């Protein structure tokens, strides 16, 4: 199946804190992994000279249920507003638990409760530190006709993978730090293991 935009639909968004905006939700045929990834065009996405783009991996516990064990939900909320203001795309990627799946992520949580950090728990379950692949994200940008992008992320693997797939990343823009007592150890592990650019005021 050749790569193509499958559908476009306008969806009004409203978050729990009252912030509201409108997204054009775009689906695709022919993505490399066959998953149902989404692109949300926000603000003047197609008119922006260099759109702001965030590849955001699905996190059911954080994005939907407000889990405090990670910073995914606050990052998603922040990204939507910042992209809507600048014009660009949120790429919502179905890569739960850094690519290991929902059940395995919850198994990793149980191991974290025994003292392992998030990466050690993945390894104990036989997984890599991060199994995400951004091939589909690069394909989505290509299908959308996007040229150079500014990438909203703290994860150095995202621009590295996208550049390897031919995406011109002009700049990497960090997200805010969403640290709390419940997730600071998780954030510290992201800095220590995979060089996330997170300035942690609570780090010791």
Each residue of 41-92: pLDDT tens digit? Answer: 999 999 999 999 999 999 999 999 999 888 899 999 999 999 999 999 999 9
Q: Which CATH architecture has domain 9-93+133-194?
A: 3-Layer(aba) Sandwich (3.40)
Residues with active-site annotation: 130, 132
Between 125 and 201, name the one with better pLDDT. Answer: 125
**What's the confidence (pLDDT) of residue 104?**
94
Residue ranges for the binding site for Zn(2+)?
A: 59, 70, 72
User: What is the rounded average pLDDT for all residues in the chain?
Assistant: 89
Between 191 and 118, name the one with better pLDDT. Answer: 118
- pLDDT band for 190, please (50, 70, 90 cuts): low
Element (H, E) at 28: strand 20-29
Q: Is 49 left (phi over 0), alpha (psi -120 to 50) or beta?
A: alpha
Render pLDDT for 23-47 as a digit per residue (tens, 0 to 9): 999 999 999 999 999 999 999 999 9
Delimit the CATH 3.40.50.10990 region(s) of the chain.
Answer: 9-93+133-194
**Global pTM?**
0.85
Q: Which among 53, 43, 44, 45 is positioned nearest to 171, based on CA atoms?
A: 53
Residue ranges for the binding site for GTP?
A: 54-58, 75, 96-98, 118, 153, 158
Range of lowest pLDDT (78-82, 117-121, 190-194): 190-194
Between 117 and 170, name the one with better pLDDT. Answer: 170
- Reply yes or no on whether the pLDDT at 187 is more than 90: no
């Amino acid at each position: 199946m050749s790569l193509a935009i499958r559908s476009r639909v306008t969806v009004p968004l409203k978050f729990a804190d009252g912030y509201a905006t409108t997204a054009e939700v775009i689906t695709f045929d022919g993505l490399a992994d066959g998953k149902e990834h989404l692109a949300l065009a926000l603000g003047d996405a197609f008119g922006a000279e260099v759109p702001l783009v965030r590849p955001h991996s699905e996190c059911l516990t954080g994005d939907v249920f407000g889990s405090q064990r990670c910073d995914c939900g606050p990052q998603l909320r922040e990204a939507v507003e910042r992209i809507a203001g600048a014009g660009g795309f949120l790429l919502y990627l179905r890569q739960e638990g850094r690519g290991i799946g929902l059940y395995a992520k919850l198994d990793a949580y149980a191991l974290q409760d025994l003292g392992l950090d998030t990466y050690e728990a993945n390894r104990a379950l036989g997984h890599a530190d991060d199994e995400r692949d951004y091939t589909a994200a690069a394909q989505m940008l290509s299908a959308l006709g996007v040229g150079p992008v500014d990438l909203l992320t703290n994860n150095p693997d995202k621009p590295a993978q996208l550049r390897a797939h031919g995406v011109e990343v002009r700049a990497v823009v960090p997200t805010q730090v969403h640290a709390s007592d419940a997730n600071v150890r998780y954030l510290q592990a992201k800095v220590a293991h995979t060089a996330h650019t997170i300035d942690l005021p609570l780090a010791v």
